Amino acid sequence: MSLTTEINKRRTFAIIAHPDAGKTTLTEKLLLFGGAIQTAGAVKSNKIDTATKSDWMEIEKQRGISVATSVMGFEYKDIKINLLDTPGHQDFAEDTYRTLTAVDSVIMVIDCVKGVEIQTEKLMEVCRMRSTPVICFINKLDREGRDPYDLLDEVESKLGIKVRPLSWPIGMGKGFKGVYNLYEKKLNLFTPSQRKLSDDRQVFENLDDPQLDALIGPGNANQLREDVDLIEGVYPDFDVNDYLEGKIAPVFFGSAVNNFGVNEMLDTFIQIAPIPQSRETDLRKVAPDESKFSGFVFKIHANMDPNHRNRIAFLRICSGKFERNKPYNHVRGPKPLRFSNVTQFMAQDKEIIDEAFPGDIVGLYDTGNLKIGDTLTEGENLVFTGIPSFSPEIFREVVNKDAMKTKQLEKGLKQLMEEGVAQLFTFEMGARKVVGTVGQLQFEVIQFRLKNEYNATVEFHPMNLYKACWISCADKKQLDEFVRSKNRYIARDKDDKLVFMAESKSWLQMVQDNYPEIEFHFTSEF
């Protein structure tokens, strides 16, 4: 099969949302429709003991939230779908932002009861920066939610994007009867089915069919006819190119937990969603149909299999064909790398593959050579750009509670920091270790994983720090003098770069004024 054919078969997208909007549940149902699983797990149900496929870490199962991006691949109607389920909680936003660099489009889940929430707005800003195509799925129609027109207005005003409904709900909550597919002119009636697929849905091609009144009642039928007339009159015809350019967001309504409205969205998605797109590098734009392979690492995860202390780098393939056991240029590294274990994922389930194509996400077993942002190529020395790095906002000192487990603690901290969960700073004076994060919950996750995966027990003590600033200077003598004079505030990050740990905003400003020759950077990539 030709490279062009393989590219045209692929759709790579992320599911993003505010916490509790139903994002992970929607992921489950997409896998269910794709035949990748037979029974969906319920994210927060005590009655159902099947954990969701994408929330596979122990802490995710306990809390019922996603704390790391999961990667899943499956085939649906001869289309290869690469799906990334991201954390919704704002404390793990950094993982989500990085994931958005590895996808070509996004499905954004919105709770019909709560509407657009703060985290959804932040995620949408990242999508707009890259003009990423977005599809909205308004979820939980089986609950009493807000008026659909109000929700559409809020999406437009708060997210700054025009919308075009491609399906429309009949009723809501207890009165929810189904959705009308405006894109295919078909009506599907609602049948609650939480865990398995239901095929006994009735389809109406014509809204004037008198049987419609008999099934959903004359009131609902007339309301639907009015709504469809209004939508077709107010909203312009759906233009696929506007969607692909990130100018308009198609909107679907449904209930993910009941498998309803998901199929309509998935069928439309594979028709309109973009195939793998070109990617910017520091030298040029790389097109997916170029013959030579290239790709970048956007995520690293240790201990996906707790029985084997493995470390897997997630690689987005950008061009050419990736082949197992073939040596590739590690642009940052000293020598080429070859990979005998190349996997594709179904959450934590993996299978060894021999080749992969643009749009695919593969896992590379790594002994520590790779880090987030690294580029692999078939020879060219280019670097893919646009992978964000954030300055921490909260700082805590790591306190080892078991001196006998010092080696385990150091190994655990090193591996978790390489995953990008947080940043580690080691003070030059006293060798104190400080973890910096963008959210409080990350400390709980780090503490939990250190204990469960590395058998290391720690506490985190608050530190009076405002900002970690990476420092540089054209004159090495002046840099050495600054480091000597501010020794108690100097630390090293995990890559051994010098960092100035400022205690307050005003003090940092004073130090910058007093040392104009020193450059202070708020990201490690300078």
CATH code where residue 415 lies: 3.30.70.3280
Q: By three-state DSSP, how is residue 2 classified?
A: coil
Maximum average pLDDT range among 33-42, 52-61, 463-472: 463-472
DSSP string, 428-454: TTTT-EEEEESSTHHHHHHHHHHHHHH
Q: By three-state DSSP, how is residue 244 classified?
A: helix
Q: Kindly report the CA angle at 491 between 489 and 497, in degrees rounded to 5?
A: 135
The last residue of one of the domains, among 244, 272, 300, is 272
User: What are the tokens at 134?
Assistant: 């977005």
Better-scored residue on pLDDT, 480 or 216: 480
User: What are the tokens at 237?
Assistant: 């015809």
189 and 120 in one domain?
A: yes
d(CA 67, CA 86): 8
Task: Please report whether residue 385 resides in a domain.
Answer: no
Task: Please report whether residue 386 resides in a domain.
Answer: no
Number of domains present in the structure of the chain: 3
Better-scored residue on pLDDT, 194 or 110: 110
Task: Please report whether residue 383 resides in a domain.
Answer: no
pLDDT digits (tens, 9 = 90+) for 347-368: 446 678 899 999 999 989 888 7
Can you give the pLDDT at residue 54? Answer: 44
Can you give the pLDDT at residue 37? Answer: 55
CA atoms within 13 A on the CB side of 429: 10
Q: By three-state DSSP, how is residue 323 classified?
A: strand
pLDDT digits (tens, 9 = 90+) for 76-98: 899 999 988 776 445 445 667 77
Query: At 373, is the pLDDT very low, low, confident or very high (cuts 50, 70, 90)?
Result: confident
The last residue of one of the domains, among 227, 253, 272, is 272
Task: Please report whether residue 142 resides in a domain.
Answer: yes
217 and 96 in one domain?
A: yes
Can you give the pLDDT at residue 366? Answer: 85
d(CA 105, CA 127): 9
79 and 8 in one domain?
A: yes
Task: Please report whether residue 505 resides in a domain.
Answer: yes
473 and 363 in one domain?
A: no
Better-scored residue on pLDDT, 268 or 208: 268
What percentage of the chain carries pLDDT values higher than 90?
A: 46
Can you give the pLDDT at residue 390? Answer: 62
Average pLDDT on 43-55 reads 39
Query: At 526, is the pLDDT very low, low, confident or very high (cuts 50, 70, 90)?
Result: low
Q: By three-state DSSP, how is residue 118 classified?
A: helix
Q: How many residues does the chain have?
A: 526
d(CA 342, CA 351): 8
Q: Inform me whether the pLDDT recorded for 391 exceeds 90.
A: no
Better-scored residue on pLDDT, 164 or 30: 164
Q: Inform me whether the pLDDT recorded for 49 exceeds 50.
A: no
Maximum average pLDDT range among 289-303, 321-335, 402-416: 321-335
Q: Inform me whether the pLDDT recorded for 487 exceeds 80.
A: yes
Q: CATH code at 345?
A: 3.40.50.300
Average pLDDT on 514-520 reads 94
Q: Inform me whether the pLDDT recorded for 56 exceeds 50.
A: no
Is the torsion defined by CA of 103, 105, 111, 116 positive or negative?
A: positive
414 and 291 in one domain?
A: no
Can you give the pLDDT at residue 356? Answer: 93
Task: Please report whether residue 338 resides in a domain.
Answer: yes
302 and 153 in one domain?
A: no
355 and 475 in one domain?
A: no
d(CA 446, CA 439): 12
249 and 120 in one domain?
A: yes
172 and 67 in one domain?
A: yes
Average pLDDT on 13-33 reads 82
**Is the Cβ–Cβ distance between 493 and 423 less than 8 Å?**
yes
Can you give the pLDDT at residue 204? Answer: 65
CA atoms within 13 A on the CB side of 526: 16
Can you give the pLDDT at residue 91? Answer: 45
Better-scored residue on pLDDT, 300 or 474: 474
d(CA 118, CA 237): 30
pLDDT digits (tens, 9 = 90+) for 404-461: 999 999 988 988 887 777 889 999 888 899 999 877 878 888 898 899 888 999 999 9
Q: Inform me whether the pLDDT recorded for 63 exceeds 80.
A: no
Q: Inform me whether the pLDDT recorded for 4 exceeds 80.
A: yes
User: What are the tokens at 361?
Assistant: 């996400």
Average pLDDT on 154-181 reads 90
The rounded mean pLDDT for the chain is 83
Q: Inform me whether the pLDDT recorded for 5 exceeds 50.
A: yes
Domain hosting 314: range is 279-377
**Is the Cβ–Cβ distance between 363 and 108 less than 8 Å?**
no
70 and 38 in one domain?
A: yes
Task: Please report whether residue 489 resides in a domain.
Answer: yes
424 and 406 in one domain?
A: yes
pLDDT digits (tens, 9 = 90+) for 168-216: 999 888 888 888 888 877 887 777 655 444 544 566 667 787 888 887 8
Q: Inform me whether the pLDDT recorded for 66 exceeds 60.
A: no
Task: Please report whether residue 387 resides in a domain.
Answer: no
The last residue of one of the domains, among 377, 409, 436, is 377
116 and 206 in one domain?
A: yes
Query: At 346, is the pLDDT very low, low, confident or very high (cuts 50, 70, 90)?
Result: low
What percentage of the chain carries pLDDT values higher than 70?
A: 84
